[in-house]
Amino acid sequence: MYGLPEKKSKRGLAWGQMLPSCQFKGCNNSRGLGSMWGRMSGYQLNDDSWFCSTECLEAALGQQLSMYFHLEPRPQPVRTTMPMGLMMLARGAITDPQLREALRLQQSTGERIGSCLMQLGLINEEDIAAVVATQWGCPVFPADSVEPACSLLLPLSLVERYCMLPVHLVAQGRRLFVAFCERVNHSALMAVEQMLGCETEACIVLEPKFRQVLEFRKHDLAGEVTVHRPESSQETARIIGSYAQQTGAEGLRVRAVEGNIWARLLCHNSHLDLVFEEPPS
């Protein structure tokens, strides 16, 4: 298992941490021996709250997740970057007649302008990566420094959905370079930071390298389960709770990436990712 080093607390444990109380408001297990047992068998959620039992965890999660089940369909984000074809023109990589030729090809094939320009032999993958990097204000990551094993830090379903690949860890594992191909997804990046407990740096990798690492990543599907998101937050919470109980998880982190729910169950020396994919609108 390829993992980040666990955060080490410099301070000793406070009494409140050693004897936590259940954060579920409806908990009726907060006194007596039940809670003593709960302290040994409960769940730490998102590093900031603790629940004494699977029942309390499920009930609280059901409430927390409900907001993601009533979101209006999101409008397409407004494109704020200059289109690829115009940027190639501005860089002097192509001429105006060449751009027109590529646009005609795009009309007949429906492919992206970048791949049309490549088909015409006018630019290469490095040109595309350089332009995408300029569009999103981040660097092109050197292909030689990509660590394929880093890709195991994220569940494959999210890697594929957002075309994002963790490629390199620095600062004793506290900073992670996450590579994209076409567009940087900041909401996915934020979820990665919160789930992995590290900082992230967005970067761009050349598409052939991306595809190569993606193939590597596809060979390891252990440690993750991807299902369609259930209709209700309560049902989603129930499934998470059930997995938490079955795996003997000590803690878990749960975040939404747009309408997808990503839960990571932290077990002794390993983890299990559950991804609940948003139904297509």
Positions in the binding site for Zn ion (CB under 5 A): 22, 24, 27, 29, 52, 56
State the minimum distance, in angstroms, from the CB of residue 31 to Zn ion. 11
> Could you tell me whether strands 260-267 and 270-277 are parallel, antiparallel, or unpaired per DSSP bridges?
antiparallel
State the minimum distance, in angstroms, from the CB of residue 64 to Zn ion. 15
State the minimum distance, in angstroms, from the CB of residue 48 to Zn ion. 16
Choose between 28 and 119: whose C-beta lies nearer to Zn ion: 28
Of residues 20, 21, 22, 25, the one with CA closest to residue 63: 25
DSSP lists the bridge partners of residue 219 as none
Give 225's Cβ-side CA count (13 Å radius): 13
What is the 3-state secondary structure of 154-214?
CCHHHHHHHCEEEEEEECCCCEEEEEECCCCCHHHHHHHHHHHCCEEEEEECCHHHHHHHH
State the minimum distance, in angstroms, from the CB of residue 186 to Zn ion. 35
Choose between 24 and 177: whose C-beta lies nearer to Zn ion: 24
Is residue 228 within a helix (H) or strand (E), and if so which, with residue range? Answer: strand 224-228
Choose between 27 and 93: whose C-beta lies nearer to Zn ion: 27
Of residues 91, 79, 66, the one with CA closest to residue 261: 66
Q: Tokens in use for 37?
A: 């047992």
Choose between 2 and 37: whose C-beta lies nearer to Zn ion: 37
Q: Which residues of 19-46 are buried (b: 16+ CB within 10 A; e: fewer)?
A: ebebbbeebebeeeeebeebeeebbbbe
State the minimum distance, in angstroms, from the CB of residue 27 to Zn ion. 3
Choose between 45 and 254: whose C-beta lies nearer to Zn ion: 45
| Residue 200 CB partners (closer than 8 Å, separation 6+) | 175, 176, 177, 178, 189, 192, 193
Q: Collapse the DSSP code of 3 into the 3-class scheme (helix H, G, I; strand E, B; otherwise coil) and give the result.
A: coil
Choose between 62 and 155: whose C-beta lies nearer to Zn ion: 62
Contact assessment for residue 28 and residue 234, using Cβ atoms and an 8 Å cutoff: no
Choose between 34 and 223: whose C-beta lies nearer to Zn ion: 34
Choose between 47 and 111: whose C-beta lies nearer to Zn ion: 47
State the minimum distance, in angstroms, from the CB of residue 266 to Zn ion. 19
Of residues 158, 160, 81, the one with CA closest to residue 113: 81
Q: How far is CA 209 from CA 67, 126, 140, 167, in A?
A: 37, 11, 12, 11
